[in-house]
Amino acid sequence: MAVGTSWPLGLRTSINRTARSVVSTTSTVERMMAFTLITLGTLITQHRRARGLITPMIGNQLFRAGVRMVPMVCFLGMALGVLIIGQIEAILQQVGANQYSGALVVTVIIRELAPLVSGLVVFARVGTASVIELGTARALGEIEALEALGIDPIHYLVVPRVIGFTISVMGLTLYCILTALFSGYVFAFSRGLPVNPEAYLGRIVSALSWVDFPLLAAKSGLFGMITALVVSYQGLARPLRLEQLGDTTALTVVYCLVICLIVDIGFIPLYILL
Amino acid sequence: MNSPVLEFDGASVNLAEEATAAVTGIDWRIAEGESWVIGGLQGSGKSAVLEAAAGLTPVLSGTVRLFGVSLDGLTPKEARDLRLRVGVVFEGSGRLFTDLTVLENLTLPLRYHRELSFADATEAVAPLLESLDLVTVASRYPGKIGYGVAKRVALARALVLRPAILLVDDPLRSLDSTQARAMRRHLQEFNRGHAWCDGRPVTLIVTAEELRPFVNPSNQFAIIDKHGWKIVGTREQLLGDRSDAVRELLAEHSEHAMS
């Protein structure tokens, strides 16, 4: 039976549009998960294949997404340090609650903002470029040419990005944290706050627990991996025409952001439980 | 007759992203070392037949066998192993990898499948570069070479792994007469047995919108007409065929075709 045939046209249109959107999103998520499984399967089963060719390509992705992004991430880390750590120290000093600064810095900077900012930098600078590169290759038929040569496009094009982006975001997160902690201290010191380096670092170290290290590595690595998988899926997994590249890149931005935030939220119970 | 290297049994193929068949009822056996030309108008499904023959797209119905192995339900490794014995030259500029130089395009299959270093792969492809007159453009990117040269690069890339079958989609389109003559000569050389392939004849299948340039005693012909598949046969049979479709592909317009 047709849904609500006696309902107002506007309402029916809205329901139909929402339903189509839900079905389309579900189907995209399903295909992305299948793409992820295929990529991980390829990464595991073909890790020995064509190393002489694939290893330099991983190095190239590490350079693009990692080394070249260090200045940008350091700048953002310094900005975070000044904006957040500096202010936290100043405010807590005023109310005499310095002992809580470590917990705040660990929660806000180390657990949340550093991996997210590093992931976003890699995504914004390198991920979007990758969507265009892969989408262009797909639109020009280069993917079929790879297949005709017996070269697995997932192994040749996606695996280097997954490994490169994952390691890059992990490394950049570390740089972001270190520069944020340093600039936060310098800012607090420059404002004449009575903060000594030992006490400053001591409060942060005492607020860290052992789970922070593996969870930080997992979270930042996941952000990098998600970025690589989403951009590769959007660029490769469906037929594209050149004129669709702009829309596809914009859509990739949304998917990456949403998935990274969902994963980020998924880490909260782990921090609470562990 | 030599053993068949490629067989179509009652196969139907479709154009990319279309569910309906572009060509139906393909029954075709190609023996080792033969040279075939598939004639058909633009959009008739010639490329789709080639892609199905290479195992790049599945057929809608029927069976395709490469070297006696059905292409249905192959594992990725089995499919890859079969593809290594088939060279494909795509239409147009041959879908060269635009971010790689000509030399990198040619060495890529060797570096991936044979795990050669770039220097070793470069040395390995040198005779092929020389044979197809590509030495001077080796360090250029595909965007910086002419259309005719790009076609030769695409041919060289398809031959790098010394395939047993060479599938070439519309090799003469948009080439001037000199380039077209050179391309035909290269294709014939590899079909008859070239030093690059240790003198072994490479089975050749090309597509064409115009059959006249391919009319020679060594070629056999098939045509696609109104979604149907028709084996015409040898040069004599082709020239003796008075059907409108064949005459149109031979650029001998009948009154019916003209009207």
ipTM: 0.91
Asked whether residue A49 is assigned to any structural domain, the reply reads no
Query: Does a structural domain hold residue A6?
Result: no
- How many distinct structural domains can be found in chain A? 1
Domain containing A110 equals 65-273
Residue A193 belongs to a domain:
yes
| Residue A102: pLDDT over 60 | yes
Q: How many CA atoms lie within 13 A of B253 on its CB side?
A: 4
The top-scoring range by mean pLDDT among A81-95, A237-251, B11-25, B139-153 is B139-153
In a domain, A35, yes or no: no
Q: Which of B17, B98, B116 shows the shortest C-beta gap to A140?
A: B98
Cα dihedral sign, B99-B105-B111-B117: negative
Q: Do A52 and B109 touch (CB under 8 A)?
A: no
Of the two residues B80 and A68, the one the predictor is more confident about is: A68
Q: Of B86, B108, B111, nearest to B97 (Cα)?
A: B108
Taking the CA of residue B238 and the nearest CA in chain A, the distance in Å comes to 31
Quote the tokens at residue B176.
């001037």
Closest-CA residue of A relative to B114 is: A50
- Between chains, do A150 and B84 touch, taking CB under 8 Å as contact? yes
Query: Does the distance separating the beta carbons of B112 and A151 come in below 8 Å?
Result: yes
C-beta atoms of A148 and B161 within 8 A: no
**What residues of chain B lie within 8 A of the CB of A142, using their CB?**
95-98
pLDDT tier at A3 (50, 70, 90 boundaries)? low
Residue A149 distance to chain B (closest CA, Å)? 6
In a domain, A4, yes or no: no
List of chain A residues whose C-beta atoms are within 8 Å of the C-beta of residue B52? none
Residue B253: per-residue pLDDT: 45
pTM as predicted: 0.88
Residue A123 lies in a domain: yes
Enumerate the H helices of B74-204 as residue ranges: 76-83, 102-113, 118-131, 147-159, 177-192
Q: Which of A45, A133, A149 to mutate to test the interface with B (most CBs of B within 10 A)?
A: A149
Burial B232-259 (b: 16+ CB within 10 A, else e): beebeebeebeeebbebbbeeeeeeeee
Quote the pLDDT of residue A214. 94
Residues 169-228 of B with CB under 8 A from A: none
Would A202 be classed as within a structural domain? yes
CA-nearest residue to B57 within chain A is A144
User: CA A216: distance to chain centroid?
Assistant: 12
Q: What is the pLDDT along chain B (259 residues), one digit of tens a residue?
A: 567 999 999 999 987 666 677 899 999 999 999 999 999 998 899 999 999 999 998 899 999 999 999 998 888 888 889 999 999 999 999 999 999 999 999 999 999 999 999 999 999 999 999 999 999 999 999 999 999 999 999 999 999 999 999 999 999 999 999 999 999 999 999 999 999 999 999 999 999 999 999 999 999 999 999 889 999 999 999 999 989 999 989 985 444 333 3
Contact B56 A140 (CB under 8 A): no
pLDDT at B17: 66
Q: How far is CA A71 from the centre of its chain?
A: 18
Query: Given CB atoms, is B99 within the 8 Å cutoff of chain A?
Result: yes
